[in-house]
A and B are shown apart, each in its own frame.
Chain A
Amino acid sequence: AQKVTQAQTEISVVEKEDVTLDCVYETRDTTYYLFWYKQPPSGELVFLIRRNSFDEQNEISGRYSWNFQKSTSSFNFTITASQVVDSAVYFCALSEGPYSGGSNYKLTFGKGTLLTVNP
């Protein structure tokens, strides 16, 4: 069974601080996909990034960066120089590969981390 753990329930920072959101996953599959989604106060779910299990390269997109480490089953997300607009709930999610039967069709979400960036 697949599982995603986001141990940080809430994080509060002051604007311009860097912040890292942790994500640890469990899967028996060797092929899987990891995702991060953002849910701002307005409620919609916004896709941020997808990573497949064969690609351990870290990724940077503006102030956002992601650190994928298979050895520790982690896919952490860092926001550099945080801004008030970054305040949201952030979800990490896992999808198993194409040979996992029906489960490969679903995303398993972590419980989310509420990030509050104060001015």
Chain B
Amino acid sequence: DTAVSQTPKYLVTQMGNDKSIKCEQNLGHDTMYWYKQDSKKFLKIMFSYNNKELIINETVPNRFSPKSPDKAHLNLHINSLELGDSAVYFCASRPNQMDEQYFGPGTRLTVT
């Protein structure tokens, strides 16, 4: 009965490759997010979708493209991976603007 799940948990890949991270929430929340946590633990929002509509796109390179096939899923596709993309990526969902966000377990991406 995992609330917010992400796959894979670990992802090691080479520069230049294209990869995807999947996120699913079974909480019935309308809003989903992607965050990037760098090596210094700084958490920064990347994207937010509300009912499959893009709400927030925080100056993320075009190589990153979120896709929300339905309200329960928000996937992140990354093209032409670079060393600087190495980080932990967290998916989150939220029922409405007043509530806390529920985070997935994170996906540690390592680009070599």
Interface residue? A33 (CB, 8 A): yes
List of A residues within 8 angstroms of B99 by Cβ: 50
Give per-residue flags for B67-94: 1 if the beta carbon is below 8 A from chain A beta carbons, else 0. Answer: 0000000000000000000001010101
Interface residue? B56 (CB, 8 A): yes
List of A residues within 8 angstroms of B98 by Cβ: 33, 52, 95, 98
Contact of A111 with B41 at beta-carbon distance under 8 Å, contacts A45-B103, A105-B48 already known: yes
Contact of A105 with B31 at beta-carbon distance under 8 Å, contacts A33-B98, A39-B41 already known: yes
CB distance from B50 to the nearest CB of A (A): 7
Interface residue? B45 (CB, 8 A): yes
> Is A102 touching B97 in the complex (CB atoms < 8 A)?
no
Interface residue? A77 (CB, 8 A): no
> Is B97 touching A91 in the complex (CB atoms < 8 A)?
no
Contact of A43 with B88 at beta-carbon distance under 8 Å, contacts A52-B98, A95-B97, A106-B56 already known: yes
By beta carbon, the residue of chain A nearest B99 is A50
Contact of A105 with B97 at beta-carbon distance under 8 Å, contacts A43-B105, A112-B42 already known: yes
> Is A47 touching B48 in the complex (CB atoms < 8 A)?
no
Interface size class of B (residues with CB under 8 A): 20 to 34
Partner of A107, one of B40, B42, B55, B101: B101
> Is A102 touching B106 in the complex (CB atoms < 8 A)?
no
Cα distance A112–B41 in the bound complex, in angstroms:
7
Contact of A91 with B43 at beta-carbon distance under 8 Å, contacts A43-B106, A47-B100, A50-B100 already known: yes
Interface residue? A25 (CB, 8 A): no
CB distance from A73 to the nearest CB of B (A): 19
Interface residues in A1-50 by Cβ distance below 8 A to B read 33, 35, 37, 39, 43-45, 47, 50
29 contacts between A and B (CB under 8 A): A35-B100, A37-B103, A43-B88, A45-B92, A45-B103, A45-B106, A47-B101, A47-B102, A50-B100, A52-B98, A89-B41, A95-B97, A97-B97, A98-B97, A105-B48, A105-B56, A105-B97, A106-B33, A106-B45, A106-B48, A106-B56, A108-B45, A109-B42, A109-B44, A111-B40, A111-B42, A112-B42, A112-B43, A114-B41
The interface of chain A, by Cβ under 8 A from chain B, is 33, 35, 37, 39, 43-45, 47, 50, 52, 89, 91, 95, 97-98, 102-109, 111-112, 114
